Amino acid sequence: MQATIPAGLDRKEAEVYLRLDPNRLPKHIAIIMDGNGRWAKRRHLPRVAGHRAGVASVRSTVETAARVKIPSLTLYAFSEENWKKRPKSEVDFLMGLLCRYLKQEVPTLNKNNIRLEYIGRLHELPPVVQKKMEEARQATSTNTGMVLTLALNYSARSEIVDAFRSIVDAAARNGGLDHMEIDEESVSRHLYTRHLPDPDLVIRTSGEMRLSNFLLWQLAYAEIYVTPTLWPEFRGVHLLEGIAEYQKRERRYGGLADHDHHHASKARS
Catalytic residue annotation: 34, 82
CA gap 217, 155 in Å, rounded: 11
What does each C-alpha distance from 15 to 98, 101, 155 come to in angstroms? 32, 30, 37
Residues in CB range of 134: below 8 A, 6 or more apart: none
- 205 near 33, Cβ under 8 Å? yes
